[in-house]
């Protein structure tokens, strides 16, 4: 396991822990993983239920590109984490715009496997850095049940919960402490390597929109693409309906309305659900 990764049993928030490391000047790739969190949080400050049976990991990134490009980091991280879980034999995985990983069993409704939260911070020297937090449901909790109504992610009709142990083609005891540590390191490494690959691509092809180098890969795994969707506002009202065409170079969801006009949706403006 890398010296850059610290594994703890329980903490208030791994994002807060890594934010503090960043303020103290910790390097690119430093990370904290926990078996439980007391005060986990998701997008828009909503509660992220963090019982035993999950992997809660936050990674410090110092991407050498303009911070204005960092808005696509949740999509970048999600893409490379999905690929790494696939190497571990996880099946039926997809990316749900903008920041979730879901399991999509054939003929069944999607299940939320993981969520990603990226926060931009500044260290004591005024240097920007990013904290990429991810929570992955590994195993069914023994005593604490994650019910959709408890997952206050601010989205309409919350998804049911999915678990990594249920979608692995090759059986593995992901609750084993050694396996947990190995998984945490693999996910950390995937996020760091993915960020570095993304930065390198932007350096080679300067001037393109930030998601452009990874857009095709991201959309290949994108749940609901080319399907009819409802757009829900943060207060869970249906604002629009149309066909989900994918994302633009800044990670905005592209929706074609029934009248042929288009909508470009920022993550903070809403979420998508199937209209069927």
The pLDDT assigned to 148 comes to: 43
What does CATH list as the number for 5-204? 3.30.930.10
Kindly list the distances between the CA atom of residue 106 and the CA atoms of 86, 123, 133, 177, 265, in Å, as whole numbers in the listed order: 17, 46, 29, 31, 28
Residue 180 in tokens: 């947990």
Q: Over the stretch 177-202, which tens digit does the pLDDT of each residue have? A: 789 999 999 999 999 999 999 999 99
Kindly list the distances between the CA atom of residue 31 and the CA atoms of 52, 65, 75, 252, 267, in Å, as whole numbers in the listed order: 19, 21, 19, 28, 25
For residue 60, give the DSSP letter.
Answer: E
The pLDDT assigned to 48 comes to: 55
Sequence-distant (≥ 6) Cβ neighbours of residue 45 within 8 angstroms: none
**Average pLDDT over the chain, rounded to an integer:** 90
Find the mean pLDDT for residues 58-83. Answer: 97
The pLDDT assigned to 38 comes to: 86
Percent of the chain surpassing pLDDT 90: 73
Q: Where are the CATH 3.30.930.10 domain residues in the chain?
A: 5-204
Q: pLDDT-based confidence at 43, cuts 50/70/90? A: low
Tell me how far the alpha carbon of residue 154 is from its chain's centroid.
15
The pLDDT assigned to 152 comes to: 44
- Distance between CA atoms of 100 and 108, rounded to whole angstroms? 18
Tell me how far the alpha carbon of residue 158 is from its chain's centroid.
16
Find the mean pLDDT for residues 38-66. Answer: 79
Sequence-distant (≥ 6) Cβ neighbours of residue 227 within 8 angstroms: 243, 244, 274, 275, 276
Residue 45 has pLDDT above 90, yes or no: no
Residue 153 has pLDDT above 50, yes or no: no
Class of domain 224-274: mainly beta
Q: Where are the CATH 2.30.30.100 domain residues in the chain?
A: 224-274
Residue 143 has pLDDT above 70, yes or no: no
**Span of 27-31, 37-41, 178-182, 208-212 with lowest mean pLDDT:** 37-41
The pLDDT assigned to 49 comes to: 60
- How far does the chain reach from its first CA to its final CA, in angstroms? 45
Q: Over the stretch 80-90, which tens digit does the pLDDT of each residue have? A: 999 999 999 99
The pLDDT assigned to 157 comes to: 63
The pLDDT assigned to 145 comes to: 53
Q: What is the pTM of this model?
A: 0.91
Residue 233 in tokens: 């506002």
Residue 203 has pLDDT above 60, yes or no: yes
Q: Over the stretch 231-254, which tens digit does the pLDDT of each residue have? A: 998 888 899 999 999 999 999 999
């Amino acid at each position: 396991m890398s010296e850059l990764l610290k594994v703890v049993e329980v903490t208030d928030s791994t994002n807060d822990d890594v934010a503090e490391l960043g303020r103290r000047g910790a390097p690119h790739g430093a990370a904290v993983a926990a078996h439980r969190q007391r005060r986990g949080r998701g997008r828009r400050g909503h509660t992220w239920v963090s019982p035993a049976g999950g992997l809660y990991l936050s990674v410090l990134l110092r991407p050498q590109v303009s911070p204005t490009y960092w808005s696509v980091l949740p999509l970048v991280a999600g893409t490379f984490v999905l690929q790494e879980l696939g190497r571990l034999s996880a099946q039926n995985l997809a990316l749900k715009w903008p920041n979730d990983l879901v399991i999509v069993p054939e003929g069944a409704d999607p299940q939320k496997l993981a969520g990603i939260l990226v926060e931009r911070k500044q260290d004591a020297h005024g240097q920007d850095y990013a904290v990429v937090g991810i929570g992955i449901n590994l195993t069914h909790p023994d005593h604490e049940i994650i019910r959709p109504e408890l997952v206050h992610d601010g989205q309409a009709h919350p998804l049911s919960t999915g678990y990594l142990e249920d979608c692995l083609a090759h059986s593995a005891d992901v609750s084993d402490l050694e396996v947990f540590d190995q998984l945490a390191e693999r996910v950390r490494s995937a996020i760091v390597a993915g960020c570095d690959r993304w930065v390198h691509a932007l350096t080679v092809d300067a001037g393109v929109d930030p998601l452009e180098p990874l857009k095709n890969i991201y959309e290949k795994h994108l749940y609901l693409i080319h399907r009819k969707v409802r757009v829900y506002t943060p207060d869970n009202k249906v604002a629009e309906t149309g066909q989900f065409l994918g994302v633009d170079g800044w990670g905005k969801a592209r929706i074609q309305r029934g009248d042929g006009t288009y909508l470009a949706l920022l993550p903070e403006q809403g979420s998508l659900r199937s209209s069927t």
